[in-house]
Amino acid sequence: MTVRVLLADDQAPFRGAARAVLAATPDFELVGEASSGEEAVALVGTLRPDLVLMDIKMPGVGGIEATRSIAGAYPETATVLLSTYREEDLPAQAQRCGALAYLHKSNLDGAALRDLWARRQPDSAK
Amino acid sequence: MADDLRASLARVVAAADAERRSIERELHDGVQQHLVALAVNAQLARDVADVDPAEALRLVEEVALDARAALEAVRDLAARIYPPLLPDRGLAEALRGAAAACDVPVHAEIAGIDRYAADVEAAAYFSCIELLAAIAARAERVELRAWQEDGRLRLVVGTATSPLPPLLAADRLAALGGRVDVADGRATVTIPLAS
C-alpha cells in the first residue's frame, strides 16, 4: 500500500527537505501540508492521511495539542512528532498525546519513515 | 530607596530572561531549521546519488543554499546580540545600520554624534533598537533623530500610533544617570555625557 502523509510544520526550509524525502521514498506519498496545529487537524479531517509528520512547535495550539485532537477524532491516523529538541528535553505531554513516536527532524529519511510505519503496521513493512 | 533598587534589579533580571527567550526562539526558528534541512538534504543526496544523479545534484545545491541561509541567520543573530559596527565604527554608524535594517522605513537624522564610552554607546544603541522594534510594530514609518546637546546625548524615536510598552533598557539608561520619556507615541532618550 501507499502511505498517505500529511506534513505539518511552519518552517519552510524543513518542509522543503521533507517534501524531497517523501518524493524519493517508494510507497510514501505527500498528500497535504499544514503550517499550524489547527490547520493540521482540519486537513486530517478532509484528507484522511495514514500518517502525519507533526512539528511540535507551531503557531496556535502547537503540535502536541493537535496530535491529541487527531488521536481522539481520527484514531486510524498515526502521528509522529518532530522537532529539533532532544527527546529528553520534550515536554511531558509529548509522551501522553497519542503520538506513535518521536523523530528528531535531522533523522528524517526513507529508512526512518519505513521504520516508523512498521511500528504501526508491522506486516506492511515487510 | 531599597524598594526602588529591588524593583530595578527585578526588571533587569526580567529583561535578561526575556532576551534569553528571544535568542532561543531566534536560534530555533532560524539557524536550526536551516541546519536540519541541510542534514536531511545531505542524507537524501547520498541515498539517491546512485539511482538519480540529477536529483542528487539538485539536493547538493539545496544543501549549499541551506548552509548560506544558516550562516546569514547566525550573522544576524550575532549582530543582534552585539552589533560589530558599534565598537568598530561607533554609535552613529550603528544607528544608521539599525535604521536600514528596520522592518519599516526610517527617516533618520543623525548628526554631531561623537565616540563615547562603551557603556554609553551600548545604552543608546540598545534603547534605540528596542524603540525601533516597538514603534515599527505600531506604525508604517519611524522617525529617528540623534544628536549631542549641552553635554547630553539625545535620541528621539517616534510616530507610534498606539502606546509604547515599558522600555526594557530603561534601567540600563538609569545606571548611567539617563532616562527615557515617552509621550504621544514618541520616546526621548537622554544620556548625560561625562565631562
**Distance between CA atoms of residues A69 and B119, nearest Å:** 51
**Distance between CA atoms of residues B157 and B172, nearest Å:** 17
Does ipTM exceed 0.95? no
**pTM confidence score:** 0.76
Nearest CA in chain A to B36: A106
- pLDDT by residue (tens digit) across A62-101? 999 999 999 999 999 999 999 999 888 898 899 899 999 9
Q: Do domains B2-81 and B88-192 have the same CATH topology?
A: no
Instruction: Say which CATH superfamily domain A3-120 falls into.
Output: Response regulator (3.40.50.2300)
Whether A124 has a pLDDT exceeding 50, the answer reads no
CATH ID of B2-81, from 1.10.8, 2.60.40, 1.25.40, 1.20.5: 1.20.5
Contact call for A110 and B52, based on CB within 8 A: no
> Which has more confidence, B179 or B9?
B179
Q: Mean per-residue pLDDT for B6-21?
A: 81
Q: Do the Cβ atoms of B61 and A22 come closer than 8 Å? A: no
- pLDDT by residue (tens digit) across B83-122? 988 999 999 999 999 999 898 999 999 999 999 999 999 9
Q: Mean per-residue pLDDT for B147-172?
A: 86
Q: Which amino acid is at B135?
A: I
Q: Mean per-residue pLDDT for B151-175?
A: 85
Residue B29 at interface with chain A, using a CB cutoff of 8 Å? yes
Residue B32 at interface with chain A, using a CB cutoff of 8 Å? yes
CA distance A88 to chain B (A): 17
Q: Do the Cβ atoms of B98 and A42 come closer than 8 Å? A: no
Domain ranges of chain B: 2-81, 88-192
> What's the CATH fold of domain B88-192?
Heat Shock Protein 90 (3.30.565)
Q: What is the mean pLDDT of chain B?
A: 90
